[in-house]
Amino acid sequence: MKNKVNFIIDGLIFLSFLAASVPRLTGLAIHEWLSLALAGAILVHLVLHADWVWEVLKRFFRKLWHSSRLNFVVDLAVLIAFVGVMLSGILISREILAVLGIQLGENRTWQQIHRLTADASVWLMALHFALHWRWIGNAFKRYIIHPLYSLIKPQQSAPVMDVMPKLATEKVEACIER
């Protein structure tokens, strides 16, 4: 069940990330509110994986190399880039801050930081996705493909061979009784 919850949350984060990455597609208001919701989903993701983070952090320098160390470094870079995107996004927001009654002047520095950290986030997420490809593929098969296949797969009827011996036995018994 834990893997299923992780898969659902990670899938929602991924789809939200894709949509939020293209503000021209969604419009500015949806881009900003979706990004804010994405920040909350990322916090849930971090809470769900806190044990892993703590265990890798405790063992980080003990071994010369292992995949958990690479995952940790990439995940930390993703987190830093996401914090940069979220912080700069809030500071250049036109929709969310307006709802709160806050108006900040236009700041080209924060806009540039937002663009750079957004671009870094896309590349780092691609790397994160590549590092976890096996888990993603297996979870996709388990939670998407197999349930869909079981819905469309024809129901199996009782094999003919199971019925035939019984019928033959009944005919032989009927002949013997005569």
pLDDT at 128: 93
pLDDT at 123: 96
Q: pTM of the entire structure?
A: 0.73
SS3 assignment, position 106: coil
What is the CA angle 120-125-131, rounded to 5?
130
Cα–Cα distance measured from residue 141 to residue 108, given in angstroms and rounded to the nearest whole number? 45
In this structure, what are the phi and psi dihedrals at residue 105, rounded to the nearest 5 degrees?
-70, 160
Q: Is 106 exposed, middle or buried (0-12, 13-18, 19+ CB in 10 A)?
A: exposed
- CB 46, CB 53: distance < 8 Å: yes
Q: What is the pLDDT along the chain (178 residues), one digit of tens a residue?
A: 688 888 888 899 999 999 999 999 999 999 999 999 999 999 988 898 888 888 888 877 776 467 788 888 999 999 999 999 999 999 999 899 999 888 888 889 999 999 999 999 999 999 999 999 998 999 999 999 998 888 887 666 555 555 555 555 565 555 555 5
- CA dist 149 → 146, 155, 169 (Å): 5, 11, 38
Indicate the residue type of 19: A
pLDDT at 156: 61
Which of 8, 109, 6, 12 has the alpha carbon at shortest distance from 52? 6
